[in-house]
Amino acid sequence: MAAPILEYVGIRKGFGAQRAALDGFSLTIVEGETVALVGPSGCGKTTALKLANRLLDADAGAVRIFGQPAGEHDPVSLRRRIGYVIQEGGLLPHWTVRENVETVPRLLGWPEGRRRARAAELLTIVGLAPEEFAERRPASLSGGQRQRVGVARALAAGPSLVLMDEPFGALDPIARRSMQKEFLRWNARWEAAVLLVTHDLREAFLLADRVAVLEGGRVRQVGSREELMRSPADDFVREFVSEFAS
Amino acid sequence: MSQLGAFFWQRRADILALTGQHVLLVAVAAAIAVAIGVPLGVALARRPALARPVLGFANAVQAIPSLALFGFLIPVPLIGGIGARTAIVALVVYSLLPILRNTYAGIRGVDPAVVEAATGLGMTPNERLRLVELPLAFPVVLAGIRVAVVVGVGLATIAAAIGAGGLGVLIYRGVATVDHRLILAGAVPAAALALAFDFGLSAVEKRLGPRR
Amino acid sequence: MRRAAVLFAVLGALGACRAAGDRPVRIGSKNFTEQVILGEIAAGALERAGVPVERRLDLGGSFVCHRALLAGELDLYPEYTGTAFTAILKEKPIADPARVRARVAAAYATRWGLAWTAPLGFENTFALVLRGDDARRLAITKISDLVRHPELKPGFGYEFVERADGFPGLAAAYGLAFTARPAEMDLGLLYPALAQGKVDVVAGNSTDGLIAAMGLAVLEDDRRYFPPYEAAFVVRGPVWHNARVRGALEALSGTITPDAMRKMNAAVDRDGKGPAAVAGEFLAGLHLAGPAR
């Protein structure tokens, strides 16, 4: 039985006077598995993700990361142990591709030789030949290339948990398809658990082991593709899934 | 025209010495203004609520006529008196606003996605400042410094009235004796200095330029 | 058409009537205390004689006032015979006050149609001034003593540094070579700078009110470098022809002693009184005839 690596129990998180983004949100992710969190836009998916690396803290409920309550982790060292990929990449524009990938190892104080070797290794994995791309700047790359660098950067320090927020959302459909296929390849090679947020159910079914459907601030159902399609837990899930099927 | 040139040549010792004093006044004031203005601008960027009153105050100070400020400072103990020190204090005061405002705007202007990514990767606020925000804000900050320096060259000519030296001395002498050649002997090098600083700092800005 | 011509003629005649007597006399002065007081004295005297006056005091240096007079922007201002002789006429200095006065009056009349009043009664020469303590400690009483002390920091106004008969001529005549380049500043700042120790020797005026007040030592001009500087008014020809103007100004000749001038300067510089008030008190003390204001 794989150990839980990220657990949300009865989370409540609100912003100001609006209705809480998360209310009674519970989800458990175990080592090595890939879970996709799907739901309509603005339903709190990104909020849930940010609770995992303490960019946000919950109002109520418990978040446990690597087996410890979120509050007991120092945010900075926690984040260096978790890979983080966002839409649009968020690459540092004044650094080269290589320097971007090396960010977390640099923060962790790795010696230069080890950093460079690791960067070259990851760039190769994500399909960007180091000889050609390492010294280029993000502005000279296409959207798809930038996302690859973002993924390489997230993996640089060898994290056991990777958070991805709509990682392929900003790409055109062709680039997105290509990246999704590549992701499957990469995912097969590394052992990290992945929590992937997306509004695209098709993508979720393609990339994840289990899919959690989020609506009204909580998880309606979490399960494999077959489970969701054959035995939807409620009307919302049924409709949500049926739009994909049709 | 050649007569003017001959006059400049005849007075070259004065002109060179006073240009040197002028550059020193401007450079020292700019250095102090940067040492105060950049950290203060960073602090304001972290607490935007403070920004309005502080920037508002700096703005108000700009409106004080420079000769009046020089005059006000003369009787102030410690930083006042007649001479270069008072002039430098006044120049620092006038240089603060462009540097402060540009530092604030530069840091606030960094792409929020980049800032969030940097935080999410595990940078402490200081690391973020050093590795991300300041480097990205630098062109804007430098533009503010450029404005402060160019304005400073002009203001420093007025400093001669309180015995601070600099090229203003020639201008005042020229006004006192109704001799336009002296006025030009002060004004032309001052204008040339302003242009030189402007050009030089622009070139530095451009070289650090398109990194966004 | 004819009515317009008549109208213009009438206006022209009225204008001409306004011309000589009733256009205000514009009085200027240089930019230091004594000059402003003298300007106020002239203004007050003319006003008591029923002549309208426009004050343009504290204008600038000697050259500014002179040019303004030539250009017809001013009608009169207080000047010193020595300044006119060496700075404006660019003559080599001579020591006899009467000769200087005569040559200045002649040259001004011939070249520019300007008239000089008789002297007001005092001289105001350049005074090299030190802090009293320093003068005693270093045993400096004459300008030539300064040669022994090149380390002293000089401070001068812009005009003195630039005028040929100012610092350049003085340094040449006495062989002065200060190590520091002279600090230059607004005239009003020279004495505070001396007091603050920013400078050690300044070129002030012998009638400055602050000299006694600050315990400063005035150095003797032992080589008689500076010419006599008798104070008087310089007046534009057309205005001088006005009998009332001439009468009021001539009534002032010989009325101001050096001591009186120093006291008036001190009243303004040390005690903070206004120059107009000081001038008014002086004129009242003269018991001038005519309608008081």
For C202-212, what is each residue's pLDDT tens digit? 999 889 888 88
Q: Looking at the complex, does the CB of residue B135 fall below 8 Å from at least one CB of chain A?
A: yes
Rounded to a whole number of angstroms, the distance from the CA of A110 to the nearest CA of chain B is 15
pLDDT band at C289 (very low <50, low <70, confident <90, very high): very low
Strand ranges, E, within A78-151: 82-86
- From chain B, pick out residues whose CB is under 8 angstroms from the CB of C67: 178
Residues A191 and A160: beta-carbon distance below 8 Å: yes
Q: Looking at the complex, does the CB of residue A104 fall below 8 Å from at least one CB of chain B?
A: yes
Residue B135's alpha-carbon distances to A102, A150, B110, B177, in angstroms, are 17, 20, 10, 51
Residues C43 and C53: beta-carbon distance below 8 Å: yes
So what's the pLDDT on residue A9? 93
Give the Cα separation of B19 and B156 in Å (integer).
Answer: 11
Q: Which of A48, A44, A46, A8 is nearest to A29 (CA)?
A: A8
Provide the 8-state DSSP code for C24: P
Other CB atoms within 10 Å distance of the CB of residue A187: 18
Strand ranges, E, within A206-246: 210-215, 218-223
So what's the pLDDT on residue B212? 44
So what's the pLDDT on residue C15? 52
So what's the pLDDT on residue C1? 62
| Residue A88, phi-psi category: left (phi > 0), alpha (psi -120 to 50), beta (remainder) | left
Calculate mean pLDDT across residues C25-29. Answer: 95
Give the Cα separation of A169 and B79 in Å (integer).
Answer: 59
Note the pLDDT tens digit of each residue in B121-136.
Answer: 999 999 999 999 999 9
Is residue C74's pLDDT more than 60? yes
In this complex, does chain C touch chain A, defined as having at least 3 beta-carbon pairs under 8 Å apart?
no
Residues C129 and C217: beta-carbon distance below 8 Å: yes
Note the pLDDT tens digit of each residue in C230-287.
Answer: 999 999 999 999 999 999 999 999 999 988 999 999 999 889 899 999 999 999 998 7
- From chain C, pick out residues whose CB is under 8 angstroms from the CB of B83: 183, 193, 198
Residues in CB range of B181: below 8 A, 6 or more apart: B4, B7, B174
Residues in CB range of C16: below 8 A, 6 or more apart: none
Q: Is A22 helix (H, G, I), strand (E, B) or coil?
A: strand
Chain B residue at shortest CA distance from C157? B173
Identity of residue A121: E
Chains that touch A (3 or more CB pairs under 8 A): B
Is residue C18's pLDDT more than 60? no
- Residues, chain C, total? 293
Give the Cα separation of C219 and A64 in Å (integer).
Answer: 90
pLDDT band at B199 (very low <50, low <70, confident <90, very high): very high
Residues C194 and C115: beta-carbon distance below 8 Å: no
Q: Report the residue of A74, A92, A137, A153 to disrupt the B interface, i.e. the one with the largest count of B CBs within 10 Å.
A: A92
Residues C234 and C69: beta-carbon distance below 8 Å: yes
Residue A130's alpha-carbon distances to A118, A136, A154, B38, B129, in angstroms, are 11, 10, 17, 38, 29
What tokens appear for C259 in the block?
Answer: 């001591």
Residue A161's H or E segment, with its range, is strand A161-165
Which residue from C181, C186, C198 is facing B81, i.e. has the nearest CB? Answer: C198
Residue C274's alpha-carbon distances to A173, A230, B135, C36, in angstroms, are 86, 102, 58, 10
Rounded to a whole number of angstroms, the distance from the CA of B158 to the nearest CA of chain C is 11
Q: Is A29 helix (H, G, I), strand (E, B) or coil?
A: strand
Give the Cα separation of A45 and B116 in Å (integer).
Answer: 17
Packing angle, helices B168-176 and B134-158, rounded to 10: 20
| Residue A222, phi-psi category: left (phi > 0), alpha (psi -120 to 50), beta (remainder) | beta
ipTM of this predicted structure? 0.86
Residue A63's H or E segment, with its range, is strand A60-65
Give the Cα separation of A98 and A217 in Å (integer).
Answer: 39
Identity of residue A57: D
So what's the pLDDT on residue A1? 62
A-facing residues of B in 90-129 (CB < 8 A) are: 111, 113-114, 116-124, 127
The strands making up C201-205's β-sheet, listed across from edge to edge, are C183-184, C154-156, C201-205, C126-131, C216-218
pTM of the model: 0.76
Cα dihedral C182, C188, C194, C195 in deg (nearest 10): -160
Residue-averaged pLDDT of chain A: 90
Q: Do B111 and A92 touch (CB under 8 A)?
A: no
Is residue C3's pLDDT more than 90? no
Residue-averaged pLDDT of chain C: 89
Other CB atoms within 10 Å distance of the CB of residue B179: 16
- Residues, chain B, total? 212
Chain position carrying tokens 């030089």: B200
Q: Looking at the complex, does the CB of residue B132 fall below 8 Å from at least one CB of chain A?
A: yes
- From chain B, pick out residues whose CB is under 8 angstroms from the CB of C162: 173, 176-177, 179, 182
Q: Is B65 helix (H, G, I), strand (E, B) or coil?
A: coil
- Listed as own residue / partner, the contacts of A95-99 with beta carbons closer than 8 Å and 24 or more positions apart are A95/A137, A95/A138, A96/A134, A96/A135, A96/A136, A96/A137, A97/A123, A97/A128, A97/A133, A97/A134, A97/A135, A97/A136, A97/A137, A97/A138, A97/A141, A97/A149, A98/A123, A98/A130, A98/A134, A98/A135
Q: Looking at the complex, does the CB of residue A192 fall below 8 Å from at least one CB of chain B?
A: no
Calculate mean pLDDT across residues A56-77. Answer: 92
Residues C125 and C211: beta-carbon distance below 8 Å: no
**With b meaning 16 or more CB within 10 Å and e meaning fewer, what string describes B39-54?**
ebbbebbeeeeebeeb
Residues A70 and A61: beta-carbon distance below 8 Å: no
Provide the 8-state DSSP code for C35: H
- From chain B, pick out residues whose CB is under 8 angstroms from the CB of C60: 175-176
Q: How many CA atoms lie within 13 A of A213 on its CB side?
A: 21
Q: Do C64 and B162 touch (CB under 8 A)?
A: no
Note the pLDDT tens digit of each residue in A157-190.
Answer: 999 999 999 988 888 888 888 889 988 988 888 8
So what's the pLDDT on residue B131? 93
Q: Which of A15, A81, A86, A29 is nearest to A54 (CA)?
A: A81
Residues C119 and C150: beta-carbon distance below 8 Å: no
Rounded to a whole number of angstroms, the distance from the CA of B109 to the nearest CA of chain C is 45
Identity of residue C257: T
Q: Looking at the complex, does the CB of residue A96 fall below 8 Å from at least one CB of chain B?
A: no
Residue B200's alpha-carbon distances to A35, B156, B208, C281, in angstroms, are 55, 19, 13, 60
Q: Do B121 and A94 touch (CB under 8 A)?
A: no
Residues B160 and C182: beta-carbon distance below 8 Å: no
Q: Looking at the complex, does the CB of residue A47 fall below 8 Å from at least one CB of chain B?
A: no
Q: What is the DSSP string of B160-210?
A: GGGT--STHHHHHHHHHTT-HHHHHHHHHHHHHHHHHHHHHHHHHHHHT--
Q: Tell the burial category of A3 from Cβ atoms under 10 Å away from its Cβ (0-12, 13-18, 19+).
A: exposed
- From chain C, pick out residues whose CB is under 8 angstroms from the CB of B21: none
